[in-house]
Structure 1
Amino acid sequence: AISRWYFTSMIFLQLNEIILVESCHAIKPGMLNVHLVPHTHDDVGWLKTVDQYFYGARNDIQHAGVQYILDSVVDQLLKNPDRRFIYVETAFFYRWWKRQSGDMQDTVKQLVDEGRLEFVNGGWCMSDEATTHYSAVVDQMTIGLRFLNDTFGPCGRPRVAWHIDPFGHAREHASVFAQMGYDGFFFGRLDYQDRSRRKASREQEMVWRASESLVPPVADLFTGILPNGYNPPEGFCWDQLCDDPPIRDDPDLEDYNVEDVVSKFLTVAQEQAKVYKTNHIIMTMGSDFQYENANLWYKNLDKLIRYVNQKQVNGSNIHVLYSTPSCYLQELHRANLSCPYFPMRIDDFFPYADAAHDFWTGYFTSRPALKRYERISNSYLQVICNQMEVLGGPTSRNGSFGVGNSDTMKKAMAVAQHHDAVSGTEKQHVADDYARRLANGWTQCQVLVSNTLAALSGSSAPRVYCEHLNISVCPLTESSSKFSVNVYNPLARPVGWSVRLPVNGTAYAVTDSSGNVVPVSQATVVVRRDRGYAVNELLFQVRAPPMGYSTYSVSLLQKGPPPASPFPRAPKDIQNKVRFLKVTFDPETGLLSSLSNLETQQTVRLSQNFYWYNASDGNNKDSKQMSGAYIFRPNSSTTFIISKTAKIETVQNSVVQEVRQWFSPWVSQVVRLYADSRVLELEWTVGPVPIGDNMGKEVITRFDTSINSSGIFYTDSNGREVLQRRKDYRPTWTLTQTEPVAGNYYPINSRAYIKDEKDQLTVVTDRSQGGGSIQDGSLEIMLHRRLLHDDVRGVGEPLNEASDLYPEGLVVRGRLLLSLNPPAVAANTHRPLAQEVVLQPLITFTEGLLPPNTRPEVRDGRPLKPSFLTALPPAVHLLTVSQWDPDLVLLRLEHQYEARDSKEHSQPVTVNLQVSPLPSTFILLTGMNLSANQWKHEMTRLDWKVDSGKGHSPGCELTLPFST
């Protein structure tokens, strides 16, 4: 039985018994115990590429070499068994490990077994929390944790999640960490107002209830806010990159400073203790790419510990020790068994601001093309790499089309989850490198798919992949008079899609479907430039069974004359022939005016247009802060409309009705309604954003409706649960709003909606974007950003994207899907729709028609389409089907509805796995935790007592237990 919103994973593994060694240094009860945590924060790409960071190349950009950090740290740990170090980014550690000798690997294993080297977080990277989809986060964590598990066993399994640098924190991330077995979660960044309030009330450590659907404490996670971001206290940085003076402990020298350093440290510790609840505090001793010369750090830390602790003989109640996050957490848990109880948190930590006018909400949209490429690459990984590798077995990896593998794509996608990757906050050359890695992954996976489909279909015809269908580019379909289309459905239920193929004929025969030809829009001709020459598009409906494929043969019937020219003005309305939706237009402006659900007899006023905010250049009277890759800082709340009217063309046939709108030379849109669809598609094209006026621009689309939303709207958290957002409001603290637009923007990963008692308008996005509801009944989504200034957060260049193909500025195309439903049943539409957008069908092509022996069996005039999965109940989503080892498969199922979503689908569901859902036979099914690195039945987590809501529990003394 799958309870609401649970992940379930099954895998075959063997467990080796290991005796865990107690590795934490002794603390002193009754004293303030200061846990020093030596660490380095190593970005998996930011100012330099991943390779450049690892090898220490391009130090003219930033001095950083991860391989030297790990070399130096291991050497220093061996010199003193008291020393500790934590490491986070498995992507770097994996590279370093593979280059070590067997003797060095044995040495490192011993350090891990003894707890002197501890892994925290343990994912391939430290992922972003705003712009990542939960499925990709689970994957990247699994890759890193599996390597640690296979290499070091239980001693290498991290117990603490460590997100010290991401720019705001998502509730779904905490839920995922809890279901992976983590005991705690530490981060460094939160809103400056929230931090100030928490320091005053000593609530910087809490229990985060990260799901409203899972029964507590399944998704409860202890969460701590680090005192200095992730840096050491001021004056105590002893890295080669720092300027703080070392501890000079020779009393014969004139610059002897031990007493000064100790006195300053005691003061810092006392002040920090005043804003935490227990007699334990943590200090992060390290920062970005530090410990390349670890001797500098450890020599001074050894002295600091020795000289501070010597003060205890003179009455000091401060005890300093080398520690790790898990050791610190262990002591907090021991304290929590009696006193103090920690407060509860139920919302999330968005948006993040580090000053009054400095909201980090721009990166929700920064680099929209990369965000889309990452999202479709995730679909590619799940569908092409993972599922096809399972279905094809060994043949998929070594078949008639060569050697293919999924590892390249898995690692490229894992790196792309980094908080300076998909977030869009890296330098341009690094963004290019992330895209290149994804492209290499696509190439490897396409070989794998060709091998699999050849084995499944019996046809060795070469497979063609057309990756630019969204701009009507596919050389095979443009030139061939006969070709076959194979459509693979990765979902666990039968689904239909509309396929649009670039062609040059005017009439085609399509087996098992009816096709229509429409002219390619002028906007598409402009966007694709010289990459294609099709004048028309062939449209037809396809259907495929759950986790199965359908094959369609296409034959040219007529080359000319061309189809009728589009009608040059807006229709009064368009609607499905099967009467699902109706859309009306203003005949004078050509803009949307209303949307109706004909099934439920709902109608809302709906107007939509495109606008831009003028990005601050630093000369605003309230603040010198500029808009940049991280920060959204409009000069005012005023939006500039791109055009009050749209030039219109209308295309209507039995498959689709389209209203093509041109707002300006750089903004266009297609309003598209397919015959059997319950959603309205808006395909937008924005760019190159003009900057000839020396103004940076933040481009949005806004929906103004008759819905009485009362200042409330809703956004998803990493594509899973939905959170309520209220204008100028934070659920757990009183907000002083200083930025009426940027301070009300939130990440939209897959969908957002507004509603009242009768109507709910949901917008499903095709990538992560920022958005808000600035006015009642309104929903706006930022589509593109082009800025002329850096926002002084480290990246050091403006977000002003161009390319060889678009030297005058980047052009971006995307889709928004709109649905209108009663609120009580809206989730029945938007949840499966969001999954369809994330896991898209795989479409491949072959030249010519399929030979007779490879055609699907025909019965009653209709082909029987191969399926590899028994359809799962509507509430159950097939999240993962992935080859683990040659004979082992990782299967993840999830209940995709929240408790409050649907009267019909929110109930627990039973899935019978004795009826094998896959073609291979399950000999053994074993339950694992979400990251598949621990047996489910053996997963134990620390249980926490929480605050009664009055600030502390009766009889729980909060007075500081020490004095100096």
Structure 2
Amino acid sequence: MGPARPAPAPDIWGLLQYKCCRCTGGVEAILDSVVSSLVDNPDRTLMYADLAFFVKWWQELHEDSKAEVRQLVQQGRFEFTGGGIVQHDEADSHYSGMVDQMSLGMRFLQQEFGHTPRIAWQLNGFGHSRTEPLLKSMGGFDALFFGRADEADMRLRKANRSMELAWRGSESYGSETDMFTSQYPTGTYGPPGSNWFFEHHSGHGVADSINDDPETGGYNVQEMVDTFVQKALEWHNFVGAGTDYWTGYFTSRPNLKAQVRRGWALLRAIHQVEVLAQLQPGSRQLATSKGLQYQGQQEASETVKLGQKLAPDKDPAALEFALATSLHHDGITGTQVLQVTQDYEQWIHVGMVKAAPKLLLGLQQLVFPGQGSYSTAAASTSQSHTGGIFRRRLRQQGQLD
């Protein structure tokens, strides 16, 4: 296989820095240098997770460089894991948001590379839900790896050799949702290396290895499978360093958590009226806000200008991407500093302002067929709280008198 492969999983926004700073200052340089090294050294490989920064880098890449990356992907030397825009949080995120952010990333990989990842990483999350193996098994994944775990749980699993298991996502669907799952033995993000705990460090040596040849007399596949399979489990409420409980993120930054839910509700409604009113779908482009920087509270007119740089009018693309990135384990969890929280909130707000007219257009087509302006639909909703908000924002964009 050659030298040990680097495995970047760049945090989106991060704890302390805005997304644009982290992308232009670090991730672009990493990707440029790594691709150059892969081209010059055929014995090297790379695994890459979290597509948000990769997409930003890709959108401004020269076509010749894109061709080199596509060739590396086809050769299996540049490999994507997970396939989502982010490695989402599994406690605060709604399952529909998890599906959507994964779908955005997988669609990008299919369009650009004809590639579908089969291995998933959830390395840095603060807990793990049985929803994860359920969704991953339904999505065609073969295996799931994660890093963080409760210290006492990890000690027990090392002792009874259960660091690897078949994690069942649903009792209702049964074995169809069993997902091969491995917890990194260090409790961090490094590769397993020689510490592959299912067969090693058991105290019994080679005798406990899997023997799948019935003719040798030591055939033990069924025994090992019975030991290996475990039913639905939840890994939440981590405890580290004795008394440090990883539970504060369930409630921290409640305004951001609420805004994420409101954004998903708006996006759901837009997708529904697109179908019911037979509207032209959105651009399906990833509106990544490349090169845009939030510098504090801005007037509504400035918000509209930012939105116009991201996506066409009445296009939910900017909202889709903002919401997808917000599910990152340092996003919706609220574990970041205030300035980064405001960065998330700003881009979700920009996306909602851009997307709201699409909802009104769809409602107009359903309630007032044949009308060609926003005025009738907006007037019909002006008495409601939601309608009033959308009406004011449409006025700010100059689309209402």
Q: Please state which band the TM-score falls in when normalised by the shorter chain.
A: 0.7 to 0.9
**Whole-angstrom CA distance in 2 between matches of 1:333 and 1:81:** 34
Matched, 1:205 2:164: yes
> Structure 2 vs 1, CA of residues 226 and 278 (structure 1 numbering), >3 Å: closer, same or farther?
same
Aligned equivalent of 2:183: 225
The CA distance in 1 between the partners of 2:7 and 2:281, in whole Å, is 42
1:190 to 149, 155, 167: 149
SS for the counterpart of 1:403 is coil
Question: SS state of the match for residue 32, structure 2?
Answer: helix
Q: Does residue 42 of the first structure (1) align with residue 36 of the second (2)?
A: no
- The alpha-carbon deviation at position 396 of structure 1 amounts to 7.5
2:312 is equivalent to residue 426 of structure 1: no
Secondary structure, aligned partner of 2:35: helix
Within the candidate set 144, 154, 159, 2:118 is matched to: 159
Q: Distance in 2 between matches of 1:224 and 1:380?
A: 37
How does 1:462-473 map onto structure 2 within 5 Å?
A: 462=375
Equivalence for 2:274 = 389
Cα pair 2:149 2:235 within 8 Å, conserved:
yes
Identify the residue that residue 302 of structure 1 maps to in structure 2: none
Which amino acid is 2:17 matched to? K
SS of the residue aligned with 1:405?
Answer: coil
Structure 1 residue 122 corresponds to structure 2 residue 83: yes
Cα deviation, 1:908-948, whole Å, max 9, x if unaligned, reads xxxxxxxxxxxxxxxxxxxxxxxxxxxxxxxxxxxxxxxxx
Correspondence 1:278 to 2:246: no
Pairwise CA RMSD of aligned residues?
3.2
Distance 1:36 1:411, change over 3 A: same
* Aligned partners of 2:361 and 2:377 also within 8 Å: no
Question: Which residue number in structure 2 is paired with residue 54 of structure 1?
Answer: 23
Look up the match of 1:414: 324
The structure-2 alpha-carbon separation of the partners of 1:842 and 1:175, relative to structure 1 and needing over 3 Å to count, comes to farther
Q: Deviations over 1:809-839 (max 9, x none)?
A: xxxxxxxxxxxxxxxxxxxxxxxxxxxxxxx
Residues 846 and 406 from structure 1, CA distance in 2 versus in 1: closer, same or farther, beyond 3 angstroms? closer
- What's the TM-score, normalizing by structure 2? 0.78
Aligned to 1:173: 132
In structure 2, do the counterparts of structure 1 residues 369 and 845 end up closer, same or farther at CA, with 3 Å as the change threshold? closer
CA contact (8 A) 1:86 1:119 kept: yes
Cα pair distance change 1:420/1:842, threshold 3 Å: farther
Q: Deviations over 1:641-669 (max 9, x none)?
A: xxxxxxxxxxxxxxxxxxxxxxxxxxxxx
Q: CA deviation at 1:333?
A: 12
CA change 1:78–1:388 in 2 (3 A) is same
Where 1:227 maps in the other structure, the secondary structure is coil
| Equivalent residues of 1:160, 1:183 under 8 A apart | yes
Distance in 1, Cα, partners of 2:376 & 2:337: 36
SS of the equivalent of 1:412 reads: helix
After superposition, the Cα gap between the structure-2 partners of 1:360 and 1:83, relative to the gap in structure 1 and judged at 3 Å, is same
1:96: which partner in 2?
Answer: 57
Distance 1:463 1:73, change over 3 A: farther
* CA shift digits 1:368-411 (9 cap, x unpaired): 11111111111011102x1233344456869xxx8310111110
Alpha-carbon distance in 2 for matches of 1:45, 1:433: 8
Q: Of 376, 381, 388, which residue of structure 2 is paired with 1:485?
A: 381
The offset of 1:485, in angstroms, is: 3.1
Question: Shift in Å at residue 844 of structure 1?
Answer: 7.8
- Partners of 2:232 and 2:245 in 1: CA distance: 22
Change (3 A) 1:423 1:200: same
Counterpart code for 1:220:
D
3-state SS of paired residue (2:237): coil
Counterparts in 2 of 1:716-865, with a 5 A limit?
none
Q: Distance in 2 between matches of 1:371 and 1:427?
A: 15
**Structure 1 or 2: more strand by fraction:** 1
Per-residue CA distance 1:563-615 (angstroms, 9 max, x = gap): xxxxxxxxxxxxxxxxxxxxxxxxxxxxxxxxxxxxxxxxxxxxxxxxxxxxx
2:233 pairs with 1:347: yes
- Equivalent residue of 2:381, what SS? strand
Q: Secondary structure, in 3 states, of the residue corresponding to 1:161? A: strand
CA distance in 2, matches of 1:41, 1:71: 15
SS at match of 1:363: helix
Per-residue Cα deviation, 1:108-129 (whole angstroms, up to 9, x for no partner): 1111111111100110111001
Q: Is the 8 A contact 1:464 1:845 kept in 2?
A: no
- Please tell me whether the aligned partners of residues 484 and 846 of structure 1 are also in contact (alpha carbons under 8 angstroms): no
Q: 1:454 aligns with which of 343, 364, 381?
A: 364
User: SS where residue 28 of structure 2 aligns?
Assistant: helix
* Cα distance change, pair 422–227 in 1 and its aligned pair in 2 (3 A): same
Is the counterpart of residue 371 in structure 1 residue 371 in structure 2? no
1:735-765 deviation per Cα after TM superposition (whole angstroms, max 9, x unaligned): xxxxxxxxxxxxxxxxxxxxxxxxxxxxxxx
Aligned to 1:436: 346
Q: How does 1:267-306 map to 2 (within 5 A)?
A: 272=195, 276-278=197-199
Alignment of 1:22-37 (within 5 A): 25=1, 36-37=4-5
Following superposition, the deviation at residue 222 of structure 1 comes to 0.6
Seen in structure 2, the aligned counterparts of structure 1 residues 202 and 845 have a Cα distance that, compared at 3 Å, is closer
TM-score by length of 1: 0.34
Offset at residue 332 of structure 1 (A): 9.3
Tell me the CA shift for residue 169 of structure 1.
Answer: 0.3
Task: Give 1 or 2 for the bigger CA radius of gyration.
Answer: 1
Q: Is the 8 A contact 2:50 2:86 kept in 1?
A: yes
Cα pair 2:256 2:341 within 8 Å, conserved = yes
Which amino acid in structure 2 is aligned with residue 351 of structure 1?
A: N
Aligned to 2:42: 81
Name structure 1 gaps, 5 residues minimum: 1-24, 27-34, 57-64, 234-267, 281-330, 466-482, 487-499, 503-840, 848-964
Whether 1:145 and 2:106 are equivalent positions in the alignment is yes
CA contact (8 A) 1:484 1:845 kept: no
Between the two proteins, the alignment pairs up a number of residues equal to 345
Q: Whose helix proportion is higher, 1 or 2?
A: 2
CA contact (8 A) 2:90 2:127 kept: yes
Relative distance call for 1:463 and 1:148 in structure 2 (3 A) is farther
- Conserved 8 A contact 2:282-2:317: no
Q: Distance in 2 between matches of 1:37 and 1:228?
A: 18
Equivalent residue, structure 2, for 1:445: 355
- The DSSP-based 3-state class of the residue aligned with 1:193 is helix
